[in-house]
Structure 1
Amino acid sequence: MKIVCASTPEQENYIEELIQYIYSEIFPLHFSDEYIIQMEAIHVLVPREDELHYNGTMKEAFQLISSLQALIAVMETVQYEMIESTHEDIFSKNVSILNEYGYSFPFTLNQFSNLRNDVISKYSKPTNLYLA
């Protein structure tokens, strides 16, 4: 018999916050709004029920949180630094963990190395609360 601890609501909320951060802070710097809409349509970082392998255990929640944090760190780092093999290793390892749990992330690290010139996006957080 094996005892498994369920993830906490805080962990589940944090996973959603990290995904929202990627959509609002990272994707708009690299992709157009139209492309981000397409990514939402094919369920990027939004697991489908039929493909979900995440059971909501504490261990799985920690793995998802760690993977999302590592991906964010690498994607933000390669915006300003040259891509090194360690970046690629960390990126591919964490993408495979996300895919393992049913969270699709169909990108390559090279897609995050160049910033867009026009960074006005409906996905970006407003810089002024009066605009929200």
Structure 2
Amino acid sequence: MQVETAARMSSSEAWIENQSIGVIGIMSPWNYPVQLSLVPAISAFAAGNRVWLKPSERSSRTSGFLAILIQEYFHPTEFCVTTGGPDVAEQFIALPFDHLLFTGSEAIGKKVMRAAAENLTPVTLELGGKTPAIVDSSANI
């Protein structure tokens, strides 16, 4: 898609070219297992990538349902789901993804970053664990 250039760069051309980067690994948390699994996957697909999802073992029924549903509608080379516990998660984050997304705690986020660094995998971390609240004397508890 052609875009305008600044007047001072009148002899130049500029454009936007969407390019996929490959296989995106997604590790989703237990607290919003559908939203935090599928929204990043949809974004990755929209950019032309393939997705490999590892949902949380703490939401095993939802994770299992997602695995069945995705297997029914997608070829494994397009969208794959791996379920399992912490041992599977450790193996998952050690894979040489083209990009890895993780949503969860700071402690696990550090492990994800260390494992991804071994393959120079770019990482997006959404680290939680903070729910600030102030309860003052006016609160009717």
TM value normalised by structure 2: 0.29
TM value normalised by structure 1: 0.31
- Please tell me whether Structure 1 or Structure 2 has the larger radius of gyration of its CA atoms: 2
Q: Which has the higher contact order (CA 8 A, sep 6+)?
A: 1
**Structure with greater proportional helix content:** 1
